[in-house]
């Protein structure tokens, strides 16, 4: 992989409303950059900023090609027909691959310089290094889930490079088993380093400055819910364990996040009408001030994300649910235009004249609390069907489906099908259903039918330049 290594620096300050602003600063000499804590935090903020780029989670991995493959949208590119040889498709896959490894390179540079310090010589060392390792693991896990083989059958098949050092050395495409092990190591380290994460004391949305200054020292403590915090690392580890087939460990980690009830709560029908993202249930999110323009307007005007309204109705009501589902009524709207357009309202910002009256902050969901319920329920399918059903029904109750309880007599396979169907309803426009279909080797659900599972659909091709340049 031909990468120009550089530091994406950013100044992370609390803005006048207490939210996180990120302003790129440019290139600075490495020694000067990492001479003090402020430099480390600016480098880390730069990585967060790049996570919201169009080729990464700011568009592509949120409502882009994973959702196109999952058939959430009508045809908007050749991804819809799984034509991965199409020139435009190849370009988009390459852009995402390169952007993800570019962010990883920045994190590796930070971690390389952090080796000169410890918790005594660098204030907030544990937070900085813990977040960087958690982010590196999260990015590699998504790259593996996108470009790697179907697991567990492909554990010994070539997958992706795991880049854990800052260098131009050739890194081979490793067997998936080895990549999983390295991800687990990073996440285990992150959890240890973030054991005293301020999110545990102050919650996910606090903007409290617990230091004596308003400089970068305070930044490490502000708004922990939009960062790779302790619970985000724990939730990512639950994802990893489920992918690797370790259901006992997946259940343990998922339950730990679920138990943090004072910090995260499932959104429900009584949630603020303008909190479209159900923010109290976001275990981790990315701040992106432009997400309303990139996804909200595009959805509202039907530009770029064409919707089959009949499929939407089939998913939430006629086929797999009831019209009272809060997700149907909360996450979807209809324009007053002629003809009317049904649109996904998760990313819409509500305006009263020229004033933004939206109660939610412009964020992208990276991990929802509901996903931990799905993980825990699936992990229990072979040992405790009653508890698995209870966990799944907890999410359904929060989504206003308490009047439609799941039958107590559901078989293992029927309950697994319900777990998949709930994710179908839950993750529209969030880029996550693709991973569930691939991991479970499930068919893609379309209106009143399915598309049979195949490896050719879900094992996305590694960009050709990665092979050509020897993973460099």
Using the predicted structure, report yes or no on whether residue 228 has a pLDDT greater than 90: yes
Q: How many angstroms separate the CA atoms of 447 and 395, rounded?
A: 24
The pLDDT score that the predictor gives to residue 40 is 93
Using the predicted structure, report yes or no on whether residue 358 has a pLDDT greater than 60: no
Using the predicted structure, report yes or no on whether residue 25 has a pLDDT greater than 70: no
Average pLDDT over residues 296-305: 71
Q: How many angstroms separate the CA atoms of 27 and 348, rounded?
A: 34
- pLDDT tier, 14 (very low <50, low <70, confident <90, very high otherwise): very low
Among residues 138, 87, 154, 63, the alpha carbon closest in space to that of 459 is found at: 154
Average pLDDT over residues 245-267: 96
Q: What percent of the chain has pLDDT over 90?
A: 63
**Paired tokens of 271:** 């949630």
Tens digits of per-residue pLDDT, 379-404?
Answer: 999 999 999 999 999 999 999 999 99
Using the predicted structure, report yes or no on whether residue 97 has a pLDDT greater than 60: yes
The pLDDT score that the predictor gives to residue 28 is 54
Residue tagged 């709930």 (tokens): 422
CA angle 346, 347, 353 (to 5 degrees): 115
The pLDDT score that the predictor gives to residue 115 is 95
- Tally of CB atoms within 10 A around 123: 19
pTM of this prediction?
0.91
The pLDDT score that the predictor gives to residue 175 is 97
Please give, one letter per residue, the 3-state secondary structure of the chain. Answer: CCCCCCCCEEEEEECCCCCEEEEEEECCCHHHHCCCHHHHHHHHHHHHHHHCCCCCCCCHHHHCHHHHHCCCCCCCCHHHHCCCCCHHHHHHHHHHHHHHHHHHHHHHHHHHHHCCCCCCCCCCHHHHHHHHHHHHHHHHHHHHHHHCCCCCCCCCCECCCCCCCCCCCCCCCCEHHHHHHHHHHHHHHHHHHCCCCCHHHHCCCCCCCCCCCCCHHHHCCCCHHHCCCHHHHHHHHHHHHHHHCCHHHHHHHHHHHHCCCCCCCCCCCCCCCCCCCCHHHEEEEEECCCHHHHHHHHHHCCCCCCCCHHHHHHHHHHCCCCCCCHHHHHCEEECCCCCCCEEECCCCCCEECCEECCCCCCEEEEEEHHHHHHHHHHHCCCCCHHHHHHHHHHHHHHCCCCCCCCCCCCCHHHHHHHHHHHHHHHCCCCCCHHHHHHHHCCCEEECCEEECCCHHHHCCCCCHHHHHCCCC
Q: How many angstroms separate the CA atoms of 240 and 244, rounded?
A: 6
Among the four given CATH numbers 3.30.700.30, 1.25.40.390, 1.10.3720.10, 1.10.10.10, the one describing domain 9-259+432-468: 1.25.40.390
Residue tagged 């412009």 (tokens): 362
Using the predicted structure, report yes or no on whether residue 212 has a pLDDT greater than 50: no
Tens digits of per-residue pLDDT, 238-252?
Answer: 999 999 999 999 999
Least confident of 175-189, 310-324, 373-387, 417-431: 310-324
Which range, 95-104, 298-307, 462-471, has the best average confidence (pLDDT)?
A: 95-104
Using the predicted structure, report yes or no on whether residue 273 has a pLDDT greater than 60: yes
Average pLDDT over residues 271-280: 76
CA angle 41, 47, 53 (to 5 degrees): 145
Q: How long, in residues, is the chain?
A: 472
Tens digits of per-residue pLDDT, 136-161?
Answer: 999 999 999 999 999 999 999 999 99
- pLDDT tier, 4 (very low <50, low <70, confident <90, very high otherwise): very low
Residue tagged 């089939």 (tokens): 314
Domain ranges of the chain: 9-259+432-468
Least confident of 157-166, 234-243, 302-311: 302-311
Least confident of 139-143, 224-228, 363-367, 431-435: 224-228
CA angle 210, 212, 218 (to 5 degrees): 50
Using the predicted structure, report yes or no on whether residue 276 has a pLDDT greater than 90: no
Using the predicted structure, report yes or no on whether residue 172 has a pLDDT greater than 90: no
- pLDDT tier, 289 (very low <50, low <70, confident <90, very high otherwise): confident
Average pLDDT over residues 156-174: 87
The pLDDT score that the predictor gives to residue 396 is 95
Higher pLDDT, 235 or 301: 235
- pLDDT tier, 17 (very low <50, low <70, confident <90, very high otherwise): very low
Average pLDDT over residues 416-444: 97
Q: Cβ contacts of residue 33 below 8 Å, gap of 6+?
A: 7, 9, 39, 42, 43, 113
CB 231 within 8 A of CB 264: yes
Average pLDDT over residues 191-208: 85
Using the predicted structure, report yes or no on whether residue 255 has a pLDDT greater than 90: yes
Q: How many angstroms separate the CA atoms of 372 and 249, rounded?
A: 13
The pLDDT score that the predictor gives to residue 26 is 43
Higher pLDDT, 357 or 71: 71
The pLDDT score that the predictor gives to residue 332 is 87
- pLDDT tier, 347 (very low <50, low <70, confident <90, very high otherwise): confident
Q: How many angstroms separate the CA atoms of 96 and 412, rounded?
A: 37
């Amino acid at each position: 992989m031909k990468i120009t290594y550089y530091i994406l620096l950013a100044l992370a300050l609390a803005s006048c409303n207490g939210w996180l602003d990120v302003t790129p600063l440019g290139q600075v000499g490495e020694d000067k950059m990492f001479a003090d804590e402020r430099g480390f935090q600016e480098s880390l903020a730069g990585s967060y900023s790049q996570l919201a780029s169009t080729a990464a989670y700011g568009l592509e991995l949120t409502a882009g090609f994973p959702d196109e493959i999952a058939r959430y949208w009508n045809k908007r590119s050749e991804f819809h027909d799984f034509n991965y040889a199409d020139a435009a498709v190849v370009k988009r896959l390459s852009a995402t691959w390169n952007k993800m490894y570019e962010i990883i390179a920045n994190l590796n540079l930070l971690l390389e310089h952090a080796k000169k310090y410890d918790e005594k010589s660098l204030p907030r060392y544990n937070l900085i290094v813990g977040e960087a390792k958690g982010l590196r693991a999260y990015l590699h896990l998504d790259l593996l889930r996108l470009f790697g083989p179907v697991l567990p059958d492909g554990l010994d098949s070539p997958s992706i490079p795991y880049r854990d050092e800052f260098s131009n050395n050739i890194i081979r495409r490793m067997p998936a088993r080895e990549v999983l092990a390295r991800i687990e190591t990073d996440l285990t380290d992150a959890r240890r380093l973030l054991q005293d994460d301020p999110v545990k004391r102050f919650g996910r949305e606090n903007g409290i400055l617990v230091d004596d200054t308003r400089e970068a020292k305070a930044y490490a403590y502000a708004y922990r819910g939009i960062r790779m915090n302790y619970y985000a690392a724990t939730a990512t580890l639950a994802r990893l364990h489920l992918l690797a087939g370790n259901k006992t460990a997946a259940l343990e980690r998922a339950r730990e996040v679920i138990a943090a009830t004072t910090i995260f709560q499932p959104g429900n029908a009584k949630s603020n009408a303008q909190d479209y993202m159900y923010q109290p249930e976001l275990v981790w999110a990315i701040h992106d001030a432009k997400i309303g323009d990139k996804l909200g307007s595009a959805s509202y005007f039907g530009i770029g994300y064409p919707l089959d309204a009949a499929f939407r109705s089939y998913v939430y009501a006629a086929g797999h649910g009831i019209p009272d589902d809060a997700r149907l009524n909360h996450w979807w709207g209809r324009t007053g235009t002629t003809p009317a357009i049904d649109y996904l309202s998760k990313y819409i910002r509500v305006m009263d004249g020229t004033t933004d009256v939206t109660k939610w902050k412009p964020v992208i969901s990276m991990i929802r609390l509901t996903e931990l319920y799905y993980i825990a329920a699936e992990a229990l399918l072979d040992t405790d069907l009653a508890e698995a059903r209870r966990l799944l029904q907890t999410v359904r109750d929060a989504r206003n489906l308490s009047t439609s309880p799941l039958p107590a007599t559901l078989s293992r396979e029927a309950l697994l099908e319900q777990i998949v169907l709930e994710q179908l309803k839950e993750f529209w426009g969030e880029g996550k259903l693709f991973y569930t279909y691939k991991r479970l080797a499930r068919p893609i659900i379309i209106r009143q039918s399915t598309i049979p599972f195949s490896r050719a659909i879900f094992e996305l091709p590694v960009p050709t330049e990665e092979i050509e340049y020897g993973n460099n």
